[in-house]
Amino acid sequence: MSTIVQKYGGSSVGTIDKIKNVARKVIERKKKGDDVVVVVSAMGKTTDNLISMAKEISQNPSKREMDMLMSTGEQISISLLAMAFQEFGYESISLTGFQAGIKTSGIHTKNRIADIDIENVKKHLDEGRIVVVAGFQGINEDGDITTLGRGGSDTTAVALAAKLNCTCEIYTDVEGIYNIDPRLYSNAKKLDTISYQEMMEMASLGAGVMETRAVELGYKYNIPIYVASSHEEKLGTYIKEYDETMEEKVITGLTVSDDVLMVTINNVACGGKNISKIFERLAQHHVNIDMISQTAPLNGYVNVSFTTSNEDTCTIDEIANELKEEILGIEISKVSNITKVSVVGIGMMKQSGVAAKVFSIFSDNEIEFNQVTTSEISISYTIDSKDKEKAVAVLAKELNLSDDYPL
Ligand code: ADP
Ligand code: ASP
Ligand code: MG
């Protein structure tokens, strides 16, 4: 007998019928003699709808209250799922993040799991219950309800698996992890395995199928993560430690992120620590900066651009107003129709030339880019969102990522 953590995402519990199906699938596992902890997200688009309601009241609502509001979505799905188990004749209990002992730290809406007091979950498992835990939420030092950032139920699941030292299965609305989002590129190829490092990079660069922090936790505690369809019995993808049996290919995946806000600050006088003042202010407001580019000084002035998440638009406006008072003459503009396209692969550590190849693919296809950043295993480009589909199609073809080519 072993313990298993299974997580079902929002679309997998989107209706009452789907909740009943999830219950049946979990019961199959329970019948095999395993202890099951089930983590669920809010039903369907519930979290989006809760956010829309808040936005009808305020464009910049208190983050504490947003956490209070958003955490309610998962409470609906956990209680309904526990009822379904009970109705099918199985003992079950639903637990909120607090009741499951999930302690968080950080700032509201972007919390991290600091620790889990796993005793209550274990007690219910030992007493034979299927334990249903609310994803995405926890409790901070002040006793306030917190959330872990969008997609955070994955993190809840992997963190619980790490505490219980067991495998984590993530069930979702696609058959596994593909080298490109299959909804964006229909000829994408499903991967049998992917290394933690590559999945972390793909997730952080926009592959929303897994939350980045969840993969980080899996990597840190060496927890095997299996991603598969919640409604089809097809083999999914294992996320695990890199080993030689994983074919060595230069590029494993291509990701796209539309959540890019590009901010440009023109006419910044060189010297006077203006640039450091700008970035210090952004850091004080917890704005996560992604890419940065700066022009060469011209007549003692530079222009600097950086990208961040659209989520921080209101905070950027506040900071812009402050900075305009402090650094006279600067002009600040925002552009949101920007897409970040990235290629990811551990093979890039050993092989050079990928950036050059992408530059030439872009120029042959008249796709202009703004910023470029690289890490050891990825290269990212920001482009105008209107060129997104074209960029994905030509890169997939030229870099042999399409299902028409053997990997
Ligand atoms: P859940 O509600 O189950 O958490 P998500 O919507 O968060 O589901 O994640 C699943 C979605 O991730 C898929 O519908 C797919 O469009 C998207 N996705 C993005 N990149 C990839 C990828 N590389 N492989 C598979 N799915 C991906
Ligand atoms: N319900 C939350 C969200 O929509 C958490 C999750 O789905 O993982 O972001
Ligand atoms: Mg998700």
Alpha helices in 99-152 (DSSP H): 119-126
Contact between residue 135 and residue 39 where contact means Cβ atoms under 8 Å apart: yes
* Residues in contact with ligand 1 (CB, 6 Å cut-off): 9-12, 41, 151, 172-174, 177-178, 181-183, 207-209, 253
CB 123 within 8 A of CB 100: no
Domains of the chain, by residue range, sit at 3-173
Residue 237 tokens read as: 């993808």
Task: Encode pLDDT of 99-132 as tens digits.
Answer: 999 999 999 999 999 999 999 999 999 999 999 9
Q: Is 406 a residue whose pLDDT tops 70?
A: no
**Distance of alpha carbon 279 from its chain centroid, rounded?**
24
Ligand 2 pocket test: which of 39, 40, 47, 171 has the largest number of ligand atoms within 8 Å of its C-beta? 47
Q: Tell the residue number behind the tokens 């222009």, with chain if given.
A: 303
Distance (Å, whole) CA 303 – CA 319: 17
CA nearest ligand 1 atom 7, residue = 209
Q: The whole model's pTM is what?
A: 0.92
Q: Which atom of ligand 2 is nearest to the CA of 156?
A: 8
159 Cβ neighbours under 8 A, 6+ residues apart: 102, 113, 116, 214, 217
HSE-CB at 69 with a 13 A cutoff on CA atoms is 18
pLDDT of amino acid 350:
86
Tell me: pLDDT of 376 over 60: yes
Q: How far is the CA of 151 from the centre of ligand 3 (A)?
A: 4
H-only helix segments in 311-387:
313-326, 354-364
Q: What is the pLDDT of residue 69?
A: 98
Q: Is residue 405 predicted with pLDDT exceeding 90? A: no
Q: Is the pLDDT of residue 21 over 50?
A: yes
Among 84-98, 193-207, 282-296, the range scoring the smallest mean pLDDT is: 282-296
- Tell me the per-residue pLDDT of 170-206, one tens digit each, with 9 for 90 and over: 999 999 999 999 999 999 999 999 999 999 999 999 9
The CATH number corresponding to 3-173 among 3.40.640.10, 3.30.70.920, 2.60.120.10, 3.40.1160.10 equals: 3.40.1160.10
Decide if 189 contacts 178 (C-beta within 8 A): yes
Task: Please report the pLDDT score of residue 324 as a whole number.
Answer: 95
Residue 247's pLDDT band, with cuts at 50, 70 and 90, is low
For residue 407, the model assigns a pLDDT of 47
The alpha carbon of 277 and the centre of ligand 2 are apart by a number of angstroms equal to: 35
What pLDDT is attached to residue 271?
Answer: 77
By residue count, the chain amounts to 407
Confidence of residue 1 (pLDDT cuts 50, 70, 90): confident
Burial of 278 from C-beta contacts in 10 A (0-12 / 13-18 / 19+):
buried
Mean pLDDT of 356-370: 95
Cα–Cα distance for residue pair 205/110, rounded to 1 Å: 17
